[in-house]
Structure 1
Amino acid sequence: MSLKQQASAGAEVDEKLSALITNADAIRAVASSVESTLGPRGLDTMLVDKFGNVVITNDGVTILTMMEVNHPAARMLINIARAQQEEVGDGTTTAAVLAGALVGKGVEQVVKGVPAARVIEGLRAGIKRALSFMQGQTRAVESLTDPVLRQVALVAGREHEDIAELVVEAAGLIGREKLLKQSFKLSEAVVAEEGALNQVFMGVIINKEAMNRQMPRVLSSVRVLVLDDALEAESIEEEALTTEAGFRHYLELQAEFQNNLQKIISLGVGLVLTDRGVADIAEEMLTDTGVMVVQRVAHSELRKVAEHTGAVMIKRTGLKKDPQQLVKLLGEAERVQEDELLEQVWILEGKGKPLATVLVGAATAEVVGERERIAKDAASAVQAAVKGGILPGGGSLELAAARMVEKMRGEVSGMAVYGIDCVVEALQRPLAQIVANAGFNPLEKLGDVMAAQSAGGSTSLAVHCDSGQVVDMLALGVVDPAPVKTYALKAAGEIAEAILRIDTIIKMKEYKSPDLNSVSDMTVR
């Protein structure tokens, strides 16, 4: 091969490594932005937008989703974090830290000359072994009265005891069967309000007030009508009003609407909720008969009210039904009350499906958002623990898994062993970062814990972040939901494999419709 050919080949290799290194740097930059928040001594991050608005938080998914990111590889990691949040509601920081470590070590191996395919092969094998080990260590949560649930809530809730108590109480009210449903999310029951008192109750909150001050503030044994529509007469085109037949039809519609209103009143409906506006005549008639009307309610809140009270959401045309049919579409609640201070309507003890609300109080408007995020994390963690069991936290189990994976070095062939090394280093990272955030030397403490785990045969030993001593995390009450750990490792492995497979970056020319078969429309950079 000529010098020119060698130089050309070298340039091509350098370009491919450059693409890989660029992507890896982007991943590690994103991971480093959240790793300082890990553990009980993790620090907060301040997010500032172009208008000077500030969010101060310790929540990984909030940081990742609110930070400004332009690099496509970095956006891949953020999408993984969103998926983690959607699936289990917690563990996004762990997923990001693991991904950053896997990618960093993987790229380091490739730069040394290890083929990416071999690294990926070892990486897959190592993660599979680690996941199998974690599943074998999982302890099921059999009862909602198990004290371990409070510990799960306390760890995920960043040691806020009041929030942990609220979340566990809410889980008990809702019941195990509801918590196990894939469609139900306990975190959606969390509401934070400035000036509110911490409490849990069976019911839902509507973030709206009654239409006027003449409507009742408190109702008992209430029938509830939920309209996914406006409470108005059916409309007619303006052009039709210019004709005699059109005007007659308009009068008929108005008469029919008033008849429907009388029907609502005769059925004893005490609360009417609408998705859109309410006609003046409807407001007047319902006010005079002591009905509370709340208009322009968010669809998600309407859905919750319908589920909790047993109502069926209907359109305005549904009001034409016979009273015997319409009454079957109404919901019921023991009590409805308006909170003028919080500007909310509370619907309590509905006759439909059990729904609890976790109301978290905050002293000032500045901390409302963070209190809500903390409570949602705790609620998600409790539900995940009920579904999938618990594991020792504090980075202890990941380190024990790393020791198990390291034993695979003699089981894999050839250069795949370098992929095993990537998984080992990544699994050591959570404990190392927690220790570093607590102000201790991570190398020293890693060695202490590894020695202690080997000597005692325990998988739950880690470092106490106050004393620096090696202690048993289970005895200390530091536990995590198993699904949070396993999903985070799976997600990190997926993003690492995706990044390691990319060795060329191609910038697409702007075009109206995608045509990936037309490579002539692309320029390589």
Structure 2
Amino acid sequence: MSASRIVFGGRARHRLLHGIDIAGRAVGVTFGPLGRNVLLDRDYGGRISKDGVAVARMMEFDDPFVNIGAALLRGAAVKVSDEVGDGTTTTAVLCNAMVRDGIRAVAAGLNPMDLRLGIDIAVSKVVETLGARARRIGTRDEIESVARIAANGDVEIARIVAEALESAGSEGAITVEAGHSLETTVTVAQGFEFKQGYVSHHFMTDRTTGTCKLEDPLILVSQDKLSEFQPLLQLFDDVYESGRPFLVIAESIEGEALSMLVVNTENGALQAAAVKGPAFGERRNALLGDIAAVTGATVLAEELGLAPANAGIEHLGQARRVSVTAGKTCIVDGGGHSREIGDRCTAIREQARQTDSDDDREWLSERLARLAGGVAVIRVGGGSEDEVKERRDRFDNALRSSRATMEEGYLPGGGAALLQAAPDLDGIDPANIGQRAGIDIVRRALREPLRRIAENAGHEGSTVVARLAARSDGKIGFDARNGREVNMVDAGIIDAAKVVRTALQTAASLASLAITTEALVYRGPLQVPSSPLDDEFRFMSDAF
């Protein structure tokens, strides 16, 4: 086994920046309506993508220094994508700018803790400004505008996402899957969605989207904790013999039981996923009962008279399809009987009528909406498997971004909102020069998204930024597709406020981490490869 090696100080920070810079530039080329393509080398062939999160997920390097930085940026970008569906590239561009300026400031002798505090102060002010300027969404056209931006300008994707949201409602379940024709369709199926995801990333079937998709799975629903393997051996053998995927939903899955599922999934013997039951206590048991009704499963629990160890394959439920991410599970076309589901809905309505608690009434209403409402299914069409996969990624982004807009409203897009928030930093009175430098790091970073969008469209980015920064009208931005300055809202170029806020906060958090890093620990020989950034950091900028 290789010994641990440690690199300290500026050398460690510069190597960290090297990885962040490579990853940030690779993601950044996809930015904007005229962003460039990236060719991804996959085990089963190349794939062309303009999706920032797909590019971020693919990046892994042999060089430990480069890989640490790239992995940090990849994690930040994927976190933003998983949370709000868009903003991956904004996060990468903002982070790259802040890390570069921050490490340069530390090398010039400024206190990294003061820099971090200055960044935090500036970001808090910008978030406050964005929140005050955000406009609530009101029309289908506005939803389509946000979806179009997230889908890299695809009008058809925007229209279909808006249609799906109308069908399912803003809180309704919507799933995106590969179709089997050239046309993309939206249908409403019986289904159930809840906010709990897989307990281990080893269950992912698609690492590009971070999703586990199970076709025609058997489904175990248990109120008990599953930890020992031996009592479940016969049941698991029966599932294996069936040749069908296996979804386990229980109070918790750990120890030998989880290890067995992971090992068999990793070696290809079984396609499976384990999900912790939603909510807590009695509410969890109630939701597990709802899931059992939807799927046709029997709830397994020792106190109910049927322990998991005594269950057979006849006690398992089923569904046409299940999609599981890190944060949610969506069951489509479960095998439950409509009569049993209807009886359960009637009982929930009666409980809501009798309760005096507003909190309980709201929770019961949510349960009823899950059981009675369907799942809108978007089946993505295309001329080839690669085309379908690429379009499916953009549908996912557009859907999550549209929902984020419904939560916190929208802002002028194309980097305009961030650029116009920069003057609000002028009123901050920092305690020292380090904090001032941290505020200035954020101020400069706010210009980067617009600059990058303009450059990807073939324009001189710095000139576009300078021209717009001089304008007093905060609604005016740069329409990169047509190469002109316009009222961004009137032109339908808008971003979800939640996406912009989350991207800025996540980028700032990673930048603060990089700035305050004093050592890198890795396994392997202590042979530090040369970096093209080394020469740059031999000469410090006078900006600090």
TM-score, length-normalised on structure 2? 0.64
Asked whether 1:388 is paired with 2:408, we answer yes
> Which residue does the alignment assign to 2:179?
193
User: Where does 1:500-515 land on structure 2 (aligned, <5 Å)?
Assistant: 500-507=515-522
> Which residue does the alignment assign to 2:122?
126
Confirm or deny: 8 A CA contact 2:123 2:442 kept in the other structure. yes
1:198–1:506: structure 2 CA closer, same or farther, 3 Å change rule?
A: closer
- How much identity, in percent, do the aligned residues show? 25
1:392–1:278: structure 2 CA closer, same or farther, 3 Å change rule?
A: same
Match of 1:83 among 59, 79, 84: 79
User: Where does 1:120-199 land on structure 2 (aligned, <5 Å)?
Assistant: 120-141=116-137, 145-176=139-170, 178-179=171-172, 186=174, 189-199=175-185
For 2:439 and 2:294, locate their aligned partners in 1 and report how far apart those are by CA, in whole Å.
54
1:119–1:299: structure 2 CA closer, same or farther, 3 Å change rule?
A: closer
> Which residue does the alignment assign to 1:414?
433
CA-CA distance at 1:150 after TM superposition: 0.9
1:477–1:275: structure 2 CA closer, same or farther, 3 Å change rule?
A: farther
For 1:111 and 1:361, locate their aligned partners in 2 and report how far apart those are by CA, in whole Å.
52
For 1:201 and 1:297, locate their aligned partners in 2 and report how far apart those are by CA, in whole Å.
27
Q: Deviations over 1:78-101 (max 9, x none)?
A: 111222122112211111111100
CA-CA distance at 1:402 after TM superposition: 1.7
Asked whether 1:17 is paired with 2:35, we answer no
> Which residue does the alignment assign to 1:68?
60
CA-CA distance at 1:413 after TM superposition: 3.2
CA-CA distance at 1:276 after TM superposition: 5.9
Task: Give 1:200's aligned amino acid.
Answer: V
Asked whether 1:438 is paired with 2:454, we answer no
1:227–1:469: structure 2 CA closer, same or farther, 3 Å change rule?
A: closer
For 1:459 and 1:448, locate their aligned partners in 2 and report how far apart those are by CA, in whole Å.
12
Secondary structure of residue in 2 paired with 1:140: coil
User: Where does 1:309-388 land on structure 2 (aligned, <5 Å)?
Assistant: 310-314=294-298, 352-354=371-373, 355-388=375-408
Secondary structure of residue in 1 paired with 2:140: coil
CA-CA distance at 1:474 after TM superposition: 0.4
Secondary structure of residue in 1 paired with 2:446: helix
Confirm or deny: 8 A CA contact 2:220 2:316 kept in the other structure. no
> Which residue does the alignment assign to 1:325?
none
> Which residue does the alignment assign to 2:189?
203
For 2:161 and 2:190, locate their aligned partners in 1 and report how far apart those are by CA, in whole Å.
15
For 2:434 and 2:145, locate their aligned partners in 1 and report how far apart those are by CA, in whole Å.
42
Secondary structure of residue in 1 paired with 2:47: strand
Secondary structure of residue in 2 paired with 1:398: helix
Gaps of 5+ in 2: 1-6, 192-212, 222-237, 244-269, 278-287, 307-314, 321-331, 342-370, 526-544
Confirm or deny: 8 A CA contact 1:140 1:386 kept in the other structure. yes
1:299–1:314: structure 2 CA closer, same or farther, 3 Å change rule?
A: farther
Confirm or deny: 8 A CA contact 1:122 1:412 kept in the other structure. no
Confirm or deny: 8 A CA contact 1:309 1:332 kept in the other structure. no
For 1:297 and 1:73, locate their aligned partners in 2 and report how far apart those are by CA, in whole Å.
32
Match of 2:21 among 14, 21, 28: 28
Confirm or deny: 8 A CA contact 2:56 2:77 kept in the other structure. yes
1:299–1:497: structure 2 CA closer, same or farther, 3 Å change rule?
A: closer
1:316–1:469: structure 2 CA closer, same or farther, 3 Å change rule?
A: closer
Confirm or deny: 8 A CA contact 1:192 1:360 kept in the other structure. yes
CA-CA distance at 1:460 after TM superposition: 2.4
1:299–1:174: structure 2 CA closer, same or farther, 3 Å change rule?
A: farther
Confirm or deny: 8 A CA contact 2:142 2:492 kept in the other structure. yes
For 2:414 and 2:239, locate their aligned partners in 1 and report how far apart those are by CA, in whole Å.
46
1:227–1:423: structure 2 CA closer, same or farther, 3 Å change rule?
A: closer
Confirm or deny: 8 A CA contact 1:152 1:385 kept in the other structure. yes
1:310–1:196: structure 2 CA closer, same or farther, 3 Å change rule?
A: farther
User: CA RMSD, aligned part only?
Assistant: 3.8
1:118–1:191: structure 2 CA closer, same or farther, 3 Å change rule?
A: same
Confirm or deny: 8 A CA contact 1:106 1:119 kept in the other structure. yes
Secondary structure of residue in 2 paired with 1:75: helix
CA-CA distance at 1:365 after TM superposition: 1.7
CA-CA distance at 1:197 after TM superposition: 2.8
For 1:502 and 1:207, locate their aligned partners in 2 and report how far apart those are by CA, in whole Å.
41
1:382–1:15: structure 2 CA closer, same or farther, 3 Å change rule?
A: closer
1:438–1:227: structure 2 CA closer, same or farther, 3 Å change rule?
A: closer
User: Where does 1:242-253 land on structure 2 (aligned, <5 Å)?
Assistant: none
CA-CA distance at 1:487 after TM superposition: 0.6
CA-CA distance at 1:297 after TM superposition: 9.3
User: Which one has a bigger Cα radius of gyration?
Assistant: 1
TM-score, length-normalised on structure 1? 0.66
> Which residue does the alignment assign to 1:213?
none
For 1:426 and 1:97, locate their aligned partners in 2 and report how far apart those are by CA, in whole Å.
8
> Which residue does the alignment assign to 1:460?
475
User: Where does 1:442-521 land on structure 2 (aligned, <5 Å)?
Assistant: 442-452=461-471, 454=472, 458-507=473-522
Match of 1:48 among 38, 41, 63: 41
Gaps of 5+ in 1: 1-13, 211-225, 230-273, 280-295, 322-328, 337-344, 511-525
Confirm or deny: 8 A CA contact 1:92 1:488 kept in the other structure. yes
Confirm or deny: 8 A CA contact 1:196 1:359 kept in the other structure. no
1:312–1:207: structure 2 CA closer, same or farther, 3 Å change rule?
A: closer
Task: Give 2:107's aligned amino acid.
Answer: V
Q: Deviations over 1:181-200 (max 9, x none)?
A: xxx6x4xx011224253211
> Which residue does the alignment assign to 1:97?
93
Q: Deviations over 1:292-347 (max 9, x none)?
A: xxxx997699x99x8597344237999x99xxxxxxx99999xx9xxxxxxxx977
Secondary structure of residue in 2 paired with 1:310: helix
CA-CA distance at 1:431 after TM superposition: 0.3
> Which residue does the alignment assign to 2:357?
none
Asked whether 1:57 is paired with 2:35, we answer no
For 1:467 and 1:84, locate their aligned partners in 2 and report how far apart those are by CA, in whole Å.
28
1:115–1:208: structure 2 CA closer, same or farther, 3 Å change rule?
A: closer
Q: Deviations over 1:142-166 (max 9, x none)?
A: x5x5320011111111222221121
CA-CA distance at 1:75 after TM superposition: 1.3
